[in-house]
């Protein structure tokens, strides 16, 4: 097998995979991820970034075709995907996948929701397309490796754009040739710099990826052209975006259509509304607080150890805003030690500037320890009386080996959806999402979730 046919083989997989080929576990994971994402959209649309996006689409005045979730308006398919993708990621409360090097569902689901509403497609077709799009994004992410991320690229915006375009192509029933065109058009729209973490532009990465995917698929459907070998070409996606550890390209096609990454590494659904890399630290701090009955006033120093990749994500060591706090291990650990929990309303400017939390932040130092795996943390707390307490944890709740319970996922959805939807619409949409494979027309769901509580 050569490496000259990756784009072609991807297109064949997108087109030829049957519903029966997709494992039930993959469908279950996709349903949970999209329910979680829908709730995050409802939360995000009520935040400042969502309000700006709503003003933007209203100013554009595009044809009212597809729902802005929780926004009370409709706009064009691509603009709806832009807003919904941005709001899905607005609070950094949406899911995570190490395989795709970012957040898989914030680009995927908004793009698919627009296409489904546009063409009146079923929930089962949506589920199949989601799993297929995730697989493409995951195989790209695994090939690029963590060095792609370390160079400053945000996988949500790079692998996510192409994965979402693959999913949209599946929904539209594009031919092999047009699917390859869609992937190539999408590849020229991949962008997203991690330096923008802690600002409104990070969630824009997800929205732009969803918008680019919808645009790419609809243009390809009409005959728009691009390079048919965009993934493997000399100046194509892999060669341009690769870091130092590009994996053997043959592995990208190994058991394609038989092994589904979504059933292997899975998707992590967040229990805390902040960067996933902070979660192990939050849980360690909470456990140490409870186990040893710590009082913040007795703490002399705090050391947080992570590997270099983790540390590079949590780049705000002295956060001044709520958004920066989401990417600060110092703030998240301090908040957990003060309150024994980390909640949605902790990520506003006033909470980050609270004197008690500033005192703990000033006592905290970060140490890089590359013997720790991705997502792991070790927290060491020294008290004024000289006692030391230390704990290591490799993964947080919500990951595949410790998933949220169905009732926890439903509770999170209700909590988030309550920012934009009336109670009756929350419950109706929850029922539809739980039984997504039985929804004959996704436009029915869109009509429920477009509503905004008065």
Q: Is the Cβ–Cβ distance between 121 and 50 less than 8 Å?
A: no
As beta bridge partners, residue 306 has 368
d(CA 235, CA 449): 42
The reported pLDDT for the residue numbered 250 is: 83
Assess whether 121 and 160 both reside in one domain: yes
d(CA 130, CA 27): 9
d(CA 93, CA 37): 9
Under 8 Å CB-to-CB from 353, ≥6 apart: which residues? 320
Which parts of the chain register pLDDT below 70?
Answer: 1-3, 453-454
Q: What pLDDT score was predicted for residue 308?
A: 86
Q: What distance in Å separates the CA atoms of residue 436 and residue 78, rounded to the nearest whole number?
A: 23
Range of the domain at 363: 276-393
Question: How far is 454 from 352, CA to CA, in rounded Å?
Answer: 31
Please check whether residues 77 and 202 belong to one and the same domain: yes
Helix crossing, 105-119 with 123-144: angle to 10°?
A: 150
Residues 90 and 14 in one domain: yes
Please check whether residue 354 is in contact with residue 381, taking contact to mean a CB–CB distance below 8 angstroms: no
Structure tokens belonging to residue 170: 């599946």
Burial 79-116 (b: 16+ CB within 10 A, else e): bbbbbbbbbbbbbbbbbbbbbbbbbbbbbbbbbbbbbb
First to last CA, the chain: 59
Q: Are 104 and 97 in contact (CB under 8 A)?
A: yes
- Is 454 part of a structural domain of the chain? no
Supply the pLDDT for residue 453: 59
| Angle subtended at Cα 198 by Cα 237 and Cα 315, rounded to the nearest 5 degrees | 85
Taking the C-alpha atoms of residue 257 and residue 139, their distance in angstroms, rounded to an integer, is: 12
Please tell me whether residue 110 adopts helix, strand or coil conformation.
Answer: helix
CB neighbours of 393 closer than 8 A, spacing ≥ 6?
280, 283, 284, 376, 377, 378
**Is the alpha carbon torsion for 419, 424, 427, 432 positive or negative?**
negative
151 and 283 in a common domain = no
Alpha carbon distances (Å) from 253 to 7, 27, 119, 121, 139: 10, 22, 31, 29, 8
Whether 262 maps to a domain, the answer reads yes
Question: Is the residue at 225 inside a domain?
Answer: yes
Q: How many CB atoms lie within 10 A of CB 410?
A: 16
Same domain? For 326 and 237 the reply is: no
The length of the chain in residues reads 454
Q: Do 16 and 137 fall within a single domain?
A: yes
Q: DSSP state, 23?
A: -
Q: Is residue 356 part of a domain?
A: yes
> Are 27 and 153 part of one and the same domain?
yes
Among the listed residues 258, 327, 267, 337, the one whose alpha carbon sits nearest the alpha carbon of residue 296: 337
Asked, for residue 365, whether it belongs to a domain, the answer is: yes
In this structure, the answer to whether residues 302 and 244 fall within a common structural domain is: no
- When divided into structural domains, the chain yields a total of 2
Which domain CATH number covers 414? 1.10.4100.10
Residues 148 and 27 in one domain: yes
What is the model's pLDDT at position 79? 98
303-344 pLDDT tens trace: 999 988 877 788 899 999 999 999 999 999 999 999 999 999
Decide if 109 is inside a domain: yes
- Rounded Cα distance between 287 and 335, Å, is 13
Asked whether residue 1 is domain-assigned, the answer is: no
Q: 265 and 284: one domain?
A: no
Same domain, 267 and 366: no
pLDDT in tens, 77-90: 999 999 999 999 99
CATH number where 342 lies:
3.30.1330.120
Give yes or no: residues 195 and 260 share one domain: yes
Residue 258 lies in a domain: yes
Burial grade of 75 (CB within 10 A; 0-12, 13-18, 19 or more): buried
Q: What pLDDT, on the 0 to 100 scale, is given for residue 1?
A: 34
Cβ pair 278, 314 in contact under 8 A: yes
């Amino acid at each position: 097998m050569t490496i000259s046919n990756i784009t072609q083989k991807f297109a064949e997989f997108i087109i030829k995979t049957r519903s029966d080929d997709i494992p039930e576990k993959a469908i279950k994971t996709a349903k949970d991820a999209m329910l979680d994402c829908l709730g995050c959209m409802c939360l995000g649309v009520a935040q400042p970034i969502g309000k700006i996006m709503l003003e933007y689409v209203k100013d554009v005045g595009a044809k009212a075709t597809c729902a802005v979730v929780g926004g009370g308006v409709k706009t064009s398919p691509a603009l709806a995907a832009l807003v919904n993708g941005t709001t899905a990621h607005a609070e950094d409360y949406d899911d995570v996948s190490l395989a795709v090097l970012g957040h898989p569902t914030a680009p995927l689901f908004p793009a698919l929701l627009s296409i489904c509403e546009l063409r009146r497609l079923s929930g089962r077709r949506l589920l199949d397309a989601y799993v297929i799009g995730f697989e493409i994004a995951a195989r790209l992410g695994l090939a690029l490796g963590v060095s792609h991320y370390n160079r400053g690229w945000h996988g949500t915006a790079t692998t996510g754009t192409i994965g979402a375009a693959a999913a949209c192509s599946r929904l539209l029933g594009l031919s092999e040739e047009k699917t390859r065109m869609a992937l190539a058009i999408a590849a020229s729209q991949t962008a997203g710099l991690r330096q923008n973490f802690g600002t409104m532009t990070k969630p824009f990465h997800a929205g732009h990826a969803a918008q680019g995917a919808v645009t790419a698929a609809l243009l390809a459907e009409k005959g728009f052209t691009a390079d048919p070998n965009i993934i493997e070409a000399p100046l194509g996606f892999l060669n341009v975006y690769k870091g130092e550890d590009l994996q053997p390209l043959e592995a990208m096609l190994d058991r394609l259509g038989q092994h589904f990454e979504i059933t292997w590494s899975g998707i992590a659904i967040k229990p805390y509304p902040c960067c996933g890399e902070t979660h192990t630290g939050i849980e360690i701090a909470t456990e140490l607080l409870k186990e040893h009955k710590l009082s913040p006033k007795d703490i002399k120093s705090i050391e947080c150890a992570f590997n270099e990749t983790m540390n590079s994500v949590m780049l705000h060591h002295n956060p001044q805003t709520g958004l920066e706090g989401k990417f600060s291990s110092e703030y998240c650990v301090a908040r957990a030690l003060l309150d024994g929990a980390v909640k949605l309303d902790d990520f506003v400017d006033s909470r980050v500037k609270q004197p008690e939390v500033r005192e703990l932040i000033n006592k905290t130092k970060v140490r890089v320890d590359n013997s720790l795996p991705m997502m792991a943390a070790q927290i060491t707390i020294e008290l004024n009386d000289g006692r030391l307490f230390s704990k290591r944890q490799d993964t947080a709740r919500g990951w595949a080996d410790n998933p949220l319970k169905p009732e926890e996922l439903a509770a999170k959805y209700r909590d988030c959806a309550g920012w934009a939807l009336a109670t009756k619409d929350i419950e109706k949409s929850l029922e539809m999402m739980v039984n997504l494979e039985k929804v004959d027309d996704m436009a029915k769901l869109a009509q429920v979730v477009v509503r905004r509580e008065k």
